[in-house]
Amino acid sequence: MEIILREISKQLNELTKEFYERVLPPADIYEQGNTLLVILDMPGFEKSDISIRLSSDGLLRVEGKRNVEQGGIKHLAQRPSRIYREIKLPVKVPKDAEVAGKYENGVLTLKIPIEGAAKVKIE
């Protein structure tokens, strides 16, 4: 019975890890003037392990991979080693948009210009 429970627990851990690899990273998207601000939580990843692509149809793809091997006997491993997220942006982005990105303290922040939006100065 103990062997069966151990196997079920192992399978559940793998399913949990796979689930989080598909739904992470969590994202917040804000519109600030003529810029779309996208904030993604990606703790534990190195900047060099993160790949970002913004397609002309407004699809943002964020992928991260990391090595989580710690050595020794593994009893539990739920932290995702790979994440992949596609986000359809809610606004149009210019084709030649220059996106500014910053990764600090496990948080990825992207500033994406919005097509047709202009900042109005009030005097």
Domain locations along the chain: 2-68+76-113
Residues 6 or more apart in contact with residue 84 via CB below 8 angstroms? 21, 22, 61, 62, 63, 64
pTM, full prediction: 0.72
3: phi then psi, degrees, rounded to nearest 5: -65, -40
Dihedral sign for Cα 12, 17, 20, 22, please. Answer: negative
Give the pLDDT confidence of 31-60 residue by residue, as tens digits.
998 899 999 988 888 999 999 999 888 899
* DSSP class of 20: H
Domain 2-68+76-113, CATH? 2.60.40.790
Dihedral sign for Cα 8, 12, 13, 14, please. Answer: positive
Give the pLDDT confidence of 52-75 residue by residue, as tens digits.
999 888 899 999 998 777 677 777
Banded pLDDT at 119 (limits 50, 70, 90): low
- Cβ atoms < 10 Å from Cβ of 50: 19
At residue 89, does pLDDT exceed 90? yes
The pLDDT of residue 30: 94
At residue 117, does pLDDT exceed 80? no
Contact 29, 93 (CB under 8 A): no
Q: Which residue has the tokens 């990391």?
A: 66
